[in-house]
Chain A
Amino acid sequence: EAGVTQSPTHLIKTRGQQVTLRCSPISGHTSVYWYQQALGLGLQFLLWYDEGEERNRGNFPPRFSGRQFPNYSSELNVNALELEDSALYLCASSLTTGGASYNSPLHFGNGTRLTVT
């Protein structure tokens, strides 16, 4: 089966610009998660979508937003980019809403590397 796919793979933006990252989950997965992986900070939870609804968000400002489409793909939007937004943005999907059981671990995409200059 095809894995989680993310686009683009790399992106360079300047401070103040806006960016949209895209994610397609594994077929049949309804839950999509977004994580930020900045250097030395580990994966930080951003957003969780399930069945088109935002279910939870992490400790990030409102300029980080997103949505999930009827086909379960998802977008992450970041407005007013700041230098510290430079990071690897990882999307993950799971079979059930939990993502915390053996039968439905998170499956990650290869991420989008965002550089803000």
Chain B
Amino acid sequence: GQNIDQPTEMTATEGAIVQINCTYQTSGFNGLFWYQQHAGEAPTFLSYNVLDGLEEKGRFSSFLSRSKGYSYLLLKELQMKDSASYLCARGGGATNKLIFGTGTLLAVQP
């Protein structure tokens, strides 16, 4: 992905907690999105951060540090159905387009 970096793959155990990191280029920043994409399906919106700090939504939380160009998605109480690709996307300022990372493929094991 253009100017967005996230790990390619991660593995975690059912019931555990996993943190997926994302770093991005800060120029023209206009919000940070996380999407979940199961194989063969459309990406679905998970979270949006525009201010620094942690946004919690049930088992999923997302954190943003604008000064560091850094975000993470935290998944708690992992379930097998959480096995998917997690896409970090940065709002592109005046261009009004989302720039996506290549995604992190998370495998949840029993």
Give A contacts to B, CB under 8 Å: 3-4, 33, 35, 40-45, 48, 55-56, 58, 90, 97-102, 105-111
How many of B's residues come within 8 Å of A, CB to CB? 25
B43 contacts the other chain (Cβ, under 8 Å)? yes
Count A-B pairs with CB separation below 8 Å.
Answer: 68
**B87 close to A43 (CB less than 8 A):** yes
**A100 close to B98 (CB less than 8 A):** yes
Which residues of chain B have C-beta atoms less than 8 A from A42's C-beta? 1, 87, 100-103
Complex Cα spacing A27 to B50, Å: 26
**A90 close to B43 (CB less than 8 A):** yes
Q: Which B residues from 12 to 65 make CB contacts under 8 A with A?
A: 30-31, 33, 35, 41-45, 48, 50
- Find A105's partner among B33, B92, B96, B97 (CB 8 Å cutoff): B33
**A58 close to B42 (CB less than 8 A):** no
B99 contacts the other chain (Cβ, under 8 Å)? yes
**B31 close to A100 (CB less than 8 A):** yes
